[in-house]
Structure 1
Amino acid sequence: CNIKLFDIIIIVLAIIWQMIEEFVPPSWINDEDDIADD
């Protein structure tokens, strides 16, 4: 097996991050800007 555990972790984190980006609204990311606009 040439694939190291570290490489697997990176791939899993990348997949999870993409899933989070799909479900998390942009307003959560720019929380401070939304509060300022309000």
Structure 2
Amino acid sequence: MLAAADIMTMPTMVRINEPKTSGKAAPLIIMRANDMVLVK
């Protein structure tokens, strides 16, 4: 559950603070999202 909360929070903060980082983290966010779907 904590991981799910981090998934929702991290992308937003990254986009606000460092657009370059968000592009780099996109694959991680996608993979984490897939993990959430599998867990559910």
TM tier relative to shorter chain: 0.3 to 0.5
Greater relative CO, 1 or 2 (CA 8 Å, sep 6+): 2
TM-score normalised by length of structure 1? 0.42
Q: Whose helix fraction is larger, Structure 1's or Structure 2's?
A: 2
> Bigger radius of gyration, 1 or 2?
1
TM-score normalised by length of structure 2? 0.41
